[in-house]
Amino acid sequence: MSRRERLYHLHDILRQRRTPVSRQVLMEELGCSQATLYRLIAELRDRLGAPLEQAEDGRGFYYDRSLAGHFELPGLWISPEELQALLIARHVLGTVQPGLLEGELLGVQERINQLLDQQGLDFSAQPERIHIRKDAGRPVPGALFEDVLGALFGRQRLRIEYHGRRRDDVSSREVSPQRLTSYRDRWYLDAWCHRAEGLRSFSLERIRSLKRLEEPAREVDPDVIGRQLDAAFGIFSGPAEHRAALRFSPEAARWAAEEMWHPDQRGAWQSDGSYELELPFGQDRELQMEILRYGDDVEVLAPDFLRSAVQRALASALAQYRD
């Protein structure tokens, strides 16, 4: 039973009963845990405005009969997260070049417009009110993306000619594609590199050429991929081996505290208005670049080698501005 189905079923149960319904009965009727039940109750009451009350003994729930007759669930409602996803999907479809699926994609756009209009946004008449900028992304040739996608789902190996920015060299590699990752408006191929005998992430726009091979791709357990590529900050940092501690100035704290650097980050406000952030990382190059973006509004507290690396980078930058 989906979340929407459970919400409608919960609404029907409470609407038909004149006495409080116990938690246990509701959990059995909805086939859910107590935690899920409380989330459903909170959404029904706080977000959808249902006249939902809790019994004085705390063991049951009911509708206020004086208001229940005036309340009905909407035919369709969209969460804030779904609304954002629809707006982004609408923008992406609008940027696709015409092709064989042009008619089908136009139909999808029209359906998205209808869903947005049903929220009272009148998007069809005012599409210019939503402006989505894609400045950071780099284009990936369509044929290359299609070949990577075909090998990924066909479970074939690839031979790629890859230009690495760090060393500014081109290398030939045989890889077994595992997944495609979209990170900060760029596409990356996470693959097992048979030359390096390990998992690597390859930026798609740096692949100069590729060839699909007949050999089957080597399979890597998704949990292993997650530990190797997702546990630390950034896209190229490898497994989480360290934890960084950063302190942001009171002015910068208002921005830093609202940013998601990593799912496992921990943050705490300090008495002077500054903000301290901890997060896991592996290789520190990408994290250094993110730290330097804040200039003198951030201080690296730990570990010492990361603090020293940022000090050297700042000193080098300062030296370029000395007369």
State the pLDDT at residue 109.
Answer: 78
pLDDT bin (cut points 50, 70, 90) of residue 6 is confident
Radius of gyration of the chain (CA): 26
* Per-residue model confidence as pLDDT tens digits over 42-69: 988 888 888 889 988 877 898 887 775 6
Its CATH architecture, for the domain 142-229, is: Roll (2.30)
In the chain, CATH 2.30.30 sits at 142-229
State the pLDDT at residue 74.
Answer: 64
* Per-residue model confidence as pLDDT tens digits over 215-270: 999 999 999 999 999 989 988 777 899 999 999 999 999 999 999 999 899 999 99
| Nearest-angstrom CA–CA distance, 36 and 21 | 16
In the chain, CATH 3.30.70 sits at 242-319
| Nearest-angstrom CA–CA distance, 252 and 303 | 21
State the pLDDT at residue 119.
Answer: 66
> Looking at the domain that runs over 242-319, which CATH code has it been given?
3.30.70
Q: Is the pTM of this model over 0.75?
A: no
Residue 112's alpha-carbon distances to 93, 130, 199, in angstroms, are: 10, 14, 38
* Per-residue model confidence as pLDDT tens digits over 142-165: 789 889 999 999 999 999 999 988
Alpha helices (runs of H) in 31-164, residue ranges in sequence order: 34-42, 65-68, 80-95, 102-117, 142-154
pLDDT bin (cut points 50, 70, 90) of residue 78 is low
CB atoms within 10 A of CB 177: 25
State the DSSP string of 34-49. HHHHHHHHHIIIIIS-
In the chain, CATH 1.10.10.10 sits at 3-68
Q: 174 with 197: CB under 8 angstroms?
A: no
